[in-house]
Amino acid sequence: MPWFSKYLLRIGNGTEETIGDDYVHLPDEIVIGYTPGDAPVMKLIEHVFPSLHENASSGAYMSTRVILSTKNEHVDDLNAKTIDRFPGQEKVKVNCRVILLQNLDPNNGLCNGTRLMIRAFQNNAIDAKIVGGQHARKRVFIPRISMAPSEDISLPFKLKRKQFPIRLSFAITINKAQGQTIPTVGIYLPEPVFSHGQLYVALPRGVSRQTTRVLAKPNKEIDQTG
């Protein structure tokens, strides 16, 4: 729709009319109404991942949808709620989508930020398929590697453990989504984004207003209508 494209341009240029100092009104057509509790979040997940149980093994389904949010803590909560709707009891399950956290083999597409779909678990490796990019559909193995948390100067030793360098990616941070085009996008804003620029990064990841939904906690001190 032309009006939505023009709206996105005004957001990107910083010319959209503001409420108060720096708030903007989101178009009603793309907004999921906010109420306390988990119900609106589950509605957002259902919009982005409808019939998840039936489509769990579909690479085409998994590669064309994502939820974006501002901070890792919100992303982790969204991922936990989504994986609970997935077949199986484990925290990381066959066919679920993950993102790589380390550069393992850039020549073969295994870079920090590569999206993967888990196909099987081995004793010391994960059998996965790359989702998106020039290496899309390539089958790869992700090994356990030694990883250490940020150094804590209060400890006289360095913690290190072997683990898989992945995390769930039904939801990712807005910054991780820069440059991507994803057909179905949900945006979760339990707090204001840092700038019009970050909102602009999030909104155009989708391809149309019909497939983009935003759940934002309104600031009723600024706008009594919410």
How far CA 43 is from CA of 26, 53, 63, 201, in Å, comes to 18, 16, 20, 23
The pTM is what? 0.86
Same domain, 202 and 222: yes
Kindly tell me if the per-residue pLDDT of 21 is higher than 80: no
In order, the DSSP letters of 105-152 are BGGGTB-TT-EEEEEEE-SSEEEEEE-SSTTTT-EEEEE-EEE-PSP-
Residue 198: pLDDT band with limits 50, 70, 90 = confident
Tell me the residue range of the domain where 105 lies. 97-169
Q: How confident is the model at residue 98 (pLDDT cuts 50, 70, 90)?
A: very high
Number of independent structural domains in the chain? 2
Inter-residue contact 218 to 18 (CB < 8 Å): no
**Residues 175, 73 within the same domain:** yes
In a domain, 198, yes or no: yes
Instruction: Let me know the angle formed at the C-alpha of 198 by 218 and 217, rounded to the nearest 5 degrees.
Output: 15
Residues 120 and 60 in one domain: no
Residue 91 lies in a domain: no
SS3 168: strand
- Does residue 179 lie within any of the structural domains? yes
Domain containing residue 71: CATH number: 3.40.50.300
Q: Average pLDDT, stretch 81-94?
A: 85
Read off the pLDDT of residues 130-143 as tens digits, 9 standing for 90 and up. 987 789 889 999 99
Backbone angles phi, psi at 174, to 5 degrees: -55, -40
Residue 92 placed within a domain:
no
